[in-house]
Chain A
Amino acid sequence: MSKPEELKYTKTHEYVHPGAEAVVGISDHAQHEMGDVVFVELPKVGQKLEKEKPCAVVESVKSAFDIYSPVSGEVTAVNAAVTGEPALLNQSPLENGWLFKIKPSNPAEADGLMDWNAYQEFVKQAAH
């Protein structure tokens, strides 16, 4: 569904595919760093999220990671498939492993996020 170039990224490694119903997930880099994902806890449909506030949890064998919403808005759909099969996050973070969809309350928020090139640079910097 999404190519990495079409997405916007946060410093906490979430991506958002902007739109009237924006799609949120974690970057390929993030899933790689986490290792095998064993559990995903998603927000509820209808829940109002605030930008940069924790809204979901992804667990690997050894660690639990908070997922921060890249934009503010109301959750319109969640990906039930990843709660049943967390491995989808590792296999296909950008496609089958998306986390939830959100109706942004302030679409301009996404403009402030990194594009693909900036994110790649960010990841490279962080590795040093």
Chain B
Amino acid sequence: MYTPHTKKDREEMLKTIGASSFEELVKQVPSKFLWPKFDLPQQSLDESQAAALLAGLAGKNCRPLNFVGAGAYERYTPAAVGAITSRTEFLTAYTPYQPEASQGTLQAIYEFQSTVCALYGMDCANASMYDGASSFAEAVRAAVRVTGRKKIVYAAGVNPQYMDTLKTYFAHSAEYTYVKVPMKDGVMDRAALPALLEGAACLAVQTPNFLGMIEDMAGVADLTKAAGALLVAAADPVSLGLLAAPGEYGADFAVGEGQSLGLPLAYGGPYLGLFSCKKEHVRQMPGRICGLTKDKDGKRGFVLTLQAREQHIRRDKAASNICSNEALCALAATVYSALYGPEGLKELAEANAGAAAFAAERLSAIKGCSLKFKGPFFNEFVLGVPGSAAALREKVLAMKGIDIGLPLAPLYPELGETLLVCATETKTEADILKLEAAVKEAI
């Protein structure tokens, strides 16, 4: 209970209001609806009781040594990030609708937008979306608006959850068609592109793709441009400490899942949708955008801008119905990026690539196991295993408390019995040797 009212307060307030009782205030509600019986606990818990109950529940989640990635990555969250995001002035503020009283949040958003632009090599970015999947769907929607075309070409390596979300967004119309670029050696088959891109709104590619493979994007933008289509690129932001930035290879829209920038896994959210684009598409950006301006004395200040697009003003003409961003998550990602800086992010990306390379080397040497694809990968890879991958995962989990990876058969049946194995910078050489031993023993 967090209400401060004493009995005396209540009496005095009703008196000031001029009501004889609370019931008089709610007489607009038909009385038969008031105070029904709720089948809810008749006793609340005090804080220590609630803490004990929640600690018990948290304890029922087991903490395996985790090698599952697949769109959400285990990261160390630096203490300084938590120290900033738990600052009450950031945590308990609302959307910065009164800019003079919200300069902290606004400047942080401006710096977030700048950080996203820097990482992705793009011209402009918004104040964030719900998650990588919603950013991806919004980018494809924007490409459809810009081109007026309804054919969406996507690489087979795009995260299947992103495609599911996109299809849900477009569920209202059967006019949209989805054309998959087939996979060859774990990456998209470049030779198939020119024919498939004819009449397309966009080519949507993810790199590193869902299977961890790095797509070679050189020349892809030329192909899309030649077809009058736009290039939508999804990329993990930490990978961009090392890998080619979407702006460098000519993407029109670049998106990503910002969870990677030090946010907790938290069983799926809250995460952080990164959304950026070329300058000419700035007004196609959905959601909130912060801009730098001056106050009446000429002093630097920040405001939400390009707001006329926003749903609360344009109502049914809005680009999107989304009105919240993930400001606190955006702040965390901004602080994380500032703490590591360009050099630190490069080290992080290398640590990921190095840990995954080591894990791939050790696991693929086990009898019956093999690397499914030969090309370069970032921090995860597809491992072929003998027998059922799902059964192997459950066995090692039960025996050793190690989650060895995500069985891919439900998503990519054509790959056979395989696991998507991920190793981030949180995994040491010893961890990986433990993984190797456990898999060896279970097989």
A residues whose Cβ falls under 8 Å from a Cβ of B:
38-39, 41, 59-64, 66
Known interface pairs A39-B308, A59-B308; A64-B283 also in contact (CB < 8 Å)? no
CA distance A80 to B54 in the complex (A): 62
Proximity string of chain B (311-322) to chain A, C-beta cutoff 8 Å, 1 when within and 0 when not: 001100100000
CB of B308 within 8 A of CB of A61, answer yes
Of A38, A60, A61, chain B has the most CB atoms within 10 Å of the CB of A61
Q: Is B107 an interface residue (CB 8 A)?
A: no
Q: Is B165 an interface residue (CB 8 A)?
A: no
CB of A63 within 8 A of CB of B308, answer yes
State the Cβ distance, B29 to closest chain A Cβ, in Å. 35
19 contacts between A and B (CB under 8 A): A38-B308, A39-B283, A39-B306, A39-B308, A41-B283, A59-B308, A59-B309, A60-B308, A61-B307, A61-B308, A62-B308, A63-B308, A63-B313, A63-B314, A64-B308, A64-B313, A64-B314, A64-B317, A66-B317
CA distance A61 to B303 in the complex (A): 11
Enumerate chain A residues within 8 angstroms of B306, measured Cβ to Cβ.
Answer: 39
CB of B313 within 8 A of CB of A62, answer yes
Which residue of the partner chain B has the closest CB to A54? B317
Enumerate chain B residues within 8 angstroms of A39, measured Cβ to Cβ.
Answer: 283, 306, 308
Enumerate chain B residues within 8 angstroms of A61, measured Cβ to Cβ.
Answer: 307-308
CA distance A63 to B314 in the complex (A): 7
Enumerate chain B residues within 8 angstroms of A63, measured Cβ to Cβ.
Answer: 308, 313-314
State the Cβ distance, B439 to closest chain A Cβ, in Å. 58
Secondary structure call for the B interface: helix
CA distance A64 to B310 in the complex (A): 9
Contacts of B253-303 to chain A: CB distance below 8 A: 283
Enumerate chain A residues within 8 angstroms of B283, measured Cβ to Cβ.
Answer: 39, 41
Enumerate chain A residues within 8 angstroms of B307, measured Cβ to Cβ.
Answer: 61-62
Interface size in chain B (residues, C-beta < 8 A) = 8
Given contacts A61-B307, A63-B313, 18 further A-B contacts (CB under 8 A): A38-B308, A39-B283, A39-B306, A39-B308, A41-B283, A59-B308, A61-B308, A62-B307, A62-B308, A62-B313, A63-B308, A63-B314, A64-B308, A64-B309, A64-B313, A64-B314, A64-B317, A66-B317
State the Cβ distance, A113 to closest chain B Cβ, in Å. 25
CA distance A62 to B283 in the complex (A): 15
Enumerate chain B residues within 8 angstroms of A60, measured Cβ to Cβ.
Answer: 308
State the Cβ distance, B404 to closest chain A Cβ, in Å. 52
Contacts of B309-345 to chain A: CB distance below 8 A: 309, 313-314, 317
CA distance A59 to B306 in the complex (A): 9
CA distance A63 to B309 in the complex (A): 8
State the Cβ distance, B416 to closest chain A Cβ, in Å. 51
State the Cβ distance, B434 to closest chain A Cβ, in Å. 58
Which residue of the partner chain A has the closest CB to B283? A39
CA distance A60 to B305 in the complex (A): 11
Enumerate chain B residues within 8 angstroms of A66, measured Cβ to Cβ.
Answer: 317
State the Cβ distance, A29 to closest chain B Cβ, in Å. 20
State the Cβ distance, A71 to closest chain B Cβ, in Å. 23
Which residue of the partner chain B has the closest CB to A65? B308
State the Cβ distance, B211 to closest chain A Cβ, in Å. 41
State the Cβ distance, A34 to closest chain B Cβ, in Å. 10
Enumerate chain B residues within 8 angstroms of A41, measured Cβ to Cβ.
Answer: 283
CA distance A61 to B309 in the complex (A): 10
CA distance A61 to B308 in the complex (A): 6
Pick the 5 closest A-B CB pairs, nearest first.
A64-B308, A59-B308, A64-B314, A63-B313, A63-B308
Enumerate chain B residues within 8 angstroms of A64, measured Cβ to Cβ.
Answer: 308-309, 313-314, 317
CA distance A64 to B309 in the complex (A): 7
State the Cβ distance, A73 to closest chain B Cβ, in Å. 21
CA distance A63 to B306 in the complex (A): 10
Enumerate chain A residues within 8 angstroms of B313, measured Cβ to Cβ.
Answer: 62-64
State the Cβ distance, A48 to closest chain B Cβ, in Å. 15
Enumerate chain B residues within 8 angstroms of A59, measured Cβ to Cβ.
Answer: 308-309
Of A41, A59, A60, A62, chain B has the most CB atoms within 10 Å of the CB of A59
State the Cβ distance, B426 to closest chain A Cβ, in Å. 46
Of A60, A61, A62, A64, chain B has the most CB atoms within 10 Å of the CB of A64
Enumerate chain A residues within 8 angstroms of B314, measured Cβ to Cβ.
Answer: 63-64
Enumerate chain B residues within 8 angstroms of A38, measured Cβ to Cβ.
Answer: 308
State the Cβ distance, A96 to closest chain B Cβ, in Å. 23
CA distance A62 to B310 in the complex (A): 9
CA distance A124 to B317 in the complex (A): 28
State the Cβ distance, B202 to closest chain A Cβ, in Å. 21
State the Cβ distance, A33 to closest chain B Cβ, in Å. 15
Which residue of the partner chain A has the closest CB to B303? A61
Enumerate chain A residues within 8 angstroms of B309, measured Cβ to Cβ.
Answer: 59, 64
Which residue of the partner chain A has the closest CB to B317? A64
Enumerate chain B residues within 8 angstroms of A62, measured Cβ to Cβ.
Answer: 307-308, 313
CA distance A38 to B314 in the complex (A): 15
CA distance A83 to B308 in the complex (A): 16
CA distance A10 to B283 in the complex (A): 28
State the Cβ distance, A32 to closest chain B Cβ, in Å. 18
CA distance A66 to B283 in the complex (A): 15
CA distance A14 to B24 in the complex (A): 51
State the Cβ distance, B285 to closest chain A Cβ, in Å. 13
